[in-house]
Chain A
Amino acid sequence: MTALLNTWFTIDAFNTVPIVLYTALFVSALLMLPRQDLRGLSVKFDYLLVFTGTMLAYCATQPFLIWAGWTISAIPLLTASHVHKLSRATVAAGCLALGGGIFLLSTGDYPEWAFALIMLAVIQRKGLFPLQSWVGDSFEHGDIVLHGLQFNAHLGLVIIARIALPLLPDLSHSSLMILSDIGLATAVISAVMAVAESRPRRVLAYVVTSQASSILAGLEGMNVEAITGSLMHWMVVPMATTGLLAVLRMLEVRNGGKLGTLQGYLGLGGRFPRLATFFLISGVALVGLPGTMGFISEDLLMHGALEAHPWIGLAIPVATALNAITIYRLFTRLFLGARVEALPTVPDARLRERLPLTAIVLALVVFGVFPQLAVNLRSRAAEQLVRAESQNAAQAVPGH
């Protein structure tokens, strides 16, 4: 039994940090979520499915188990009636594409088709252009924290590391470059989309999609610096996003419903200064400003991407600049302006909200000021990935 478990599951340099981080974020989200959002058995079951599926995908070594985890974590979105049917169809297509790709891979026939289907699944799950609509739709109409956690599992990267790189060495080398380019294009497109959007949930969806797409930029360089940057960005985006989405949800509950279209200044900062601070620090970390972990990951990413392809790598500074403006603009719209007196007297961040948010913000800042520990945690996994990829590249060269 133990041998079987060892064959099917693993804990290694690649998945240790995501497992710990995701569990911590999941517990934090459950602690700080408004009680009304966790009412009902089906909601609790949805959270359980997302967590179980993600953990299964993180720990599994067998492709069919990874697919099972991928699909289980997608069930809450597939069954969400308030989310548009096209979004659900996109997510279902992603599950089917991954399943089909893994099936073709197991037969050994048509490896090109298997690879194409797997890449399609990655594009869908990462919300890459042109399959990004489901992210905005699910954030807007669904449980924003639940779908945020689902998106931030970044299972697309797990597929690349666990399936594409080791099992399809001949195909993965050049295709990863294309995937990275699609990621960079998505980073810019989503950042541009966020500029004219005025619904806070959608704004965050586009900014998060843009920043999460930058994670793939590390594949452009395929060197230890760039991949470490990607893996660190994989830590930053979920932490910062959970902070932002949770604060937004807290504001919505205090406001008595969704904040709708922001045409003016809500002036909530006077009422909720601590929530404003948490939102600002999380936002600043997400867009990679100094003093936060986001700066370190962006620095490594940009070095890696620009070192490999200077002009393509310019997409990251452009996307990051637009996202920074959008996040600051959203901050001003939510928290600045005349103090709202009409709101019922509700407290600023409660203790059960403050503690998880403080932990998230402290992690973002402490690892931003003293980054070497976080860098060490991820560089070993990066070295393994780069080694695997260079072996693939060597095999791909005829006569090598």
Chain B
Amino acid sequence: MHPVPMHDVTLAGFAATAVAAPGVSFALLGLLWLLGLKLSEKFVARLTCFTYVVSAIGLLYVAKGLYDLPGHDGVLQLGDWFKVGEYSFDLALHFDSISLPLLGMTAILTGLIAAFSETYMHREPGYYRFFLLLHSFGFGAMTAFSAGHLDLLVVGWELVGLSSVLLIAFFYQRSGPAACGVRVFGIYRAADIGLLAGVFLIHHYRHSASLLSIGQHALTADQATAAGLLLLLGAMGKAAQAPFSGWLPRAMEGPTPSSAIFYGAISVHMGAYLLLRARPLLDDSFLALGAVTFIGVFTAIHGVIAGRAASDTKTSLAYAAVTQLGLIFAEIGLGWTNLALLHIVGHSMIRTLQFLRAPSMLHEHHHMRAAAGGQVDLAGTSIESLMPVWLRQHLYWYALDRGHLDRFLQAAFVRPIFAVSRALLSFDARLLHQGPHIALPANPKAEEADA
């Protein structure tokens, strides 16, 4: 059934306000910073909480309004963002049973994170920057989840990616977060090639990238395979699926509240959301569906093994998230979309809570230990004890090196690109007779590792 246009002015107003509220707060805070005004911590935190309360109320009203619509599926046309010739970029927001749960989850969790961060980030030098980026992230997520067509989804998707990377490098005076930020950005951008190419390929085939235009049998099997696999590449990058899983533990360099909302809840699930949206298209391609399922299952197993050798809480949680994300991908591949949606919401909630509790975990463990009289039974060793020693050793080696996946990416992509780049630079230098003056990196391996 086609979505019903949302003509009711009040309903449309609530829907637009819910999505735009974080963007307005971001613009306001950004403008005030540019003007050199200093705002108190309390004002910034209160504004943030107010923003997400407004969003949540707006979404509740939209949910109530959609309940009365046939098919519980509505689309809000806000006009063209820009138009040239026969091409127009229309601002269409789509509210249905897939987008509303995720929009609601974004509003509630981001608001909770803002409330938590008011205390957690107190007197942090980058307090203002944190909230500014949180709004940029919230707006990106709201835009992506409510997008009525894939072009608009790309806008939100990229905003979320950029905010994530800037928050990973939040503690910028240490080189570790800066290097991790570059690495995560590299994976995001590489995978985004797939998303962009997939979206434009759908445009090429259908002359539209509206979510309605990618319904079942809209494309031939070959076209669906090409577009589906490209979209899958984009989804894999965002959802830390193998072989891109290595970025998720590195992303934990950012402040804990941002780790919780980005990598426990919203950002990592955007890949699964994209596949849920592209599901009718995937149905036309056995190969694409098989690839989604295989990657999901492989990632889930990889996450379980690699997480066993994680030496800190946030890395363990990151690999636990990788496992669940793999399972969600597998569910989508197998056609269990309702289960996948439920899994996304449930996983987001529990993982956010776990991330937020991570900094106080040791403290709580000490309490538990004291309460138990100094003896706490260790858990999690039973499965390993059932395996032969040689297998345990191999799996331990696999887990320690995080499945050799980073090494694979380095060998398959980073090193060849660097090699070609150096060859071109050295050709350029020879051409200008600059010979040894050319500043090729003193330590190429370190450069590559950093990249």
Chain A interface residues (CB < 8 Å from chain B): 84, 86-87, 133, 136-137, 189, 192-199, 202, 223-225, 228, 260-261, 263-265, 267, 269-270, 284, 289-291, 295-296, 299-300, 302-303, 306-307, 310, 313-314, 317-318, 321-322, 324-325, 328-329, 332, 335-339, 358, 371-372, 375, 379, 382-383
Other-chain contact of A193, B81, B192, B201, B424 (Cβ < 8 Å): B424
On chain B, the residues within 8 Å of A202 by CB distance are: 439
Known A325-B182, A338-B173, A375-B84; contact A290-B197, beta-carbon cutoff 8 A: no
Nearest-CB residue, chain A, relative to B151: A299
Grouping DSSP codes into helix (H, G, I), strand (E, B) and loop, the B interface class, with mixed when no group exceeds half, is helix
14 A-B residue pairs with Cβ-Cβ distance under 8 Å, sorted by A, are A196-B425, A224-B84, A261-B441, A290-B158, A290-B159, A295-B155, A306-B203, A314-B197, A318-B193, A336-B172, A336-B175, A337-B178, A371-B82, A379-B84
Contact present for B34 and A332 (CB under 8 Å): no
Contact present for A372 and B174 (CB under 8 Å): no
Q: Tell yes or no: B83 within 8 A of A by CB.
A: yes
Chain B interface residues (CB < 8 Å from chain A): 34, 80-87, 89, 151, 154-155, 158-159, 162, 165, 169, 172-175, 177-179, 181-182, 185-186, 189-190, 192-193, 196-197, 200-201, 203-204, 417-418, 420-422, 424-425, 428, 431-434, 439-444, 447, 450-451
Give the interface centre of B151, B193, B421 by most chain A CB atoms within 10 Å. B421
In whole angstroms, what is the CA distance A195 to B197 when docked? 22
- Distance (Å) between the CB of A119 and the closest chain B CB? 21
Contact present for A306 and B204 (CB under 8 Å): yes
Nearest-CB residue, chain B, relative to A274: B34
In whole angstroms, what is the CA distance A313 to B444 when docked? 31
Contact present for A192 and B420 (CB under 8 Å): yes
In whole angstroms, what is the CA distance A291 to B178 when docked? 23
- Distance (Å) between the CB of B215 and the closest chain A CB? 21
- Distance (Å) between the CB of B65 and the closest chain A CB? 28
In whole angstroms, what is the CA distance A197 to B444 when docked? 10
On chain A, the residues within 8 Å of B442 by CB distance are: 261, 263
On chain B, the residues within 8 Å of A318 by CB distance are: 193
The 7 A-B residue pairs with the shortest CB-CB distance in the complex, in nearest-first order:
A224-B85, A196-B421, A336-B178, A321-B189, A306-B200, A261-B439, A195-B421
Give the interface centre of A300, A321, A322 by most chain B CB atoms within 10 Å. A321
In whole angstroms, what is the CA distance A290 to B158 when docked? 7
Contact present for B432 and A269 (CB under 8 Å): no
Contact present for A324 and B421 (CB under 8 Å): no
Contact present for B440 and A296 (CB under 8 Å): no
In whole angstroms, what is the CA distance A358 to B34 when docked? 9
On chain A, the residues within 8 Å of B89 by CB distance are: 299
In whole angstroms, what is the CA distance A314 to B201 when docked? 10
- Distance (Å) between the CB of A43 and the closest chain B CB? 24
Contact present for A284 and B84 (CB under 8 Å): no
Contact present for B421 and A317 (CB under 8 Å): no
- Distance (Å) between the CB of B90 and the closest chain A CB? 12
- Distance (Å) between the CB of A80 and the closest chain B CB? 14
- Distance (Å) between the CB of B23 and the closest chain A CB? 9
Contact present for A375 and B87 (CB under 8 Å): no
On chain A, the residues within 8 Å of B431 by CB distance are: 86, 133
Other-chain contact of A321, B34, B169, B193, B444 (Cβ < 8 Å): B193
On chain B, the residues within 8 Å of A137 by CB distance are: 432
Contact present for A192 and B193 (CB under 8 Å): no
